[in-house]
């Protein structure tokens, strides 16, 4: 069983809705990540938080808004999404962000469908 917990597992939303994806880990990891994965594609990095500060934003549209309330929690706020944003959203954590500390542990993902 994964030690990174994501909720909800499935989410269907309209283009005018506001929703949030949540991620939690209790491994004491200090880096947390959001990845987006389309069908039959590899995960694509969206955001990295290191010590609760946003350290990487891969030019993600502002309709995706990450938040890291504390070292165990990571949220992804969704607003005014497009149908092409439908994907599996994966959260991951690692001990640190720097090299050689970064074995990523993934959650099971939140499958998002935008109608």
CB of 39 closer than 8 Å to CB of 60: no
C-alpha atoms less than 13 angstroms from C-alpha of 101 in its C-beta half-sphere: 12
The residue assigned the tokens 């939303």 is 13
Site string for another protein, 79-108 (x = CB under 8 A): -----------x-x----xxxx-xxxxxxx
- Sheet with strand 4-7: strands edge to edge: 4-7, 18-25, 73-79, 64-70
Site string for another protein, 16-35 (x = CB under 8 A): -----------------x--
Query: With binding defined as CB under 8 A, does residue 53 bind another protein?
Result: no
Closest C-alpha to 87, from 1, 13, 3, 33: 13
Query: With binding defined as CB under 8 A, does residue 66 bind another protein?
Result: no
Among 32, 48, 74, 112, binds another protein (CB under 8 A): 48
The residue ranges that bind another protein (CB under 8 A) are 2, 4, 33, 40-45, 48, 56, 90, 92, 97-100, 102-109, 111
């Amino acid at each position: 069983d994964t030690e990174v917990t994501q909720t909800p597992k499935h989410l269907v939303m309209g283009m005018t809705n506001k929703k949030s994806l949540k991620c939690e880990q209790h491994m004491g990891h200090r880096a947390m990540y959001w990845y987006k994965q389309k069908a039959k594609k590899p995960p694509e990095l969206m955001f990295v938080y290191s010590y609760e500060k946003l350290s990487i934003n891969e030019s993600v549209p502002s309709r995706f808004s990450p938040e890291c309330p504390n070292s165990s929690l990571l949220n992804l706020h969704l607003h005014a999404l497009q149908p092409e944003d439908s994907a599996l959203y994966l959260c991951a954590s690692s001990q640190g962000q720097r090299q050689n500390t970064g074995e990523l542990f993934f959650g099971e993902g939140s499958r998002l469908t935008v109608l």
